[in-house]
Amino acid sequence: MYRGGIEVISGCMFSGKTEELLRRIRRSELARLPVQLFKHALDDRYTGGHCESHSSMKLPATGAMTVAELRSKLNPNAQVIGIDEAQFYDEEIVPFVMELADRGRQVIIAGLDSDFRGLPFGAMPQLLAIAENVCKMHAVCMVCGGNGTQTQRLGTSQELVIVGATDSYEARCRQCFRPGGV
């Protein structure tokens, strides 16, 4: 049976992307499908070989900093392949996941749709375009309690990625979002 395809779980920080990815990987595992979960090692929550959500759900994961590393560490028997923090990989991730889907693999990608400036993040626009299935997750705005769709940086650093700084961000709605930091 051909089960290949690409699913993207996207949204801002704290919207539940990792929780949803872990849920989907877990249910495949329960059905005894061979799974492999990748985690970008730039994330400060990548510790002890696990992929962990902000709510402390976690599963074992393989760390990979580049698409070349994803390729070299890929388990050829994996039927379901999860990739968290996909916005951190370069555009080579697009042909990589296409090949996997063409070979009948189910690829589940989680990643930020936009950065702290409100701009599309990495190859996420292309991944969203080629996916069979797309889920936009939402958080709760930390200012007004509305629909949190943006990642607000707290502070004025202009680095694209502040490593090890989960405290430096919060979810905001479109109205309360201040692109680039407060």
Instruction: Decide: is 162 part of the binding site for Zn ion (CB under 5 A).
Output: no
CA 34 to chain CA mean position, Å: 20
* Cβ proximity to Mg ion, 48 vs 76, nearer residue: 48
What is the residue type of 45?
R
Backbone torsions φ then ψ of 29, nearest 5 degrees: -60, -40
Active site residue 91: no
Question: Pick the catalytic residue: 20, 52, 85, 170?
Answer: 85
Instruction: By CB under 5 A, name the one of 57, 94, 140, 143 that touches Zn ion.
Output: 143
Judged by beta carbon distances under 5 to 8 A according to partner kind, the member of Mg ion, ligand ADP, Zn ion, none in contact with residue 19 is: ligand ADP
DSSP symbols for 108-162: EEEEESB-TTS-B-TTHHHHHHH-SEEEE--EE-TTTSSEE-EEEESS----S--
| Contact pattern for ligand ADP over residues 7 through 46, marking x by CB under 6 A | ----x-xxxxxxx---------------------------
Instruction: Decide: is 139 part of the binding site for ligand ADP (CB under 6 A).
Output: yes
According to DSSP, residue 167 is labeled G
DSSP symbols for 57-68: -EEE-EE-SSHH
Q: Which residues are catalytic?
A: 85
Query: By the criterion CB under 6 A, which residues form the site for ligand ADP?
Result: 11, 13-19, 53-55, 139-140, 142, 148, 171
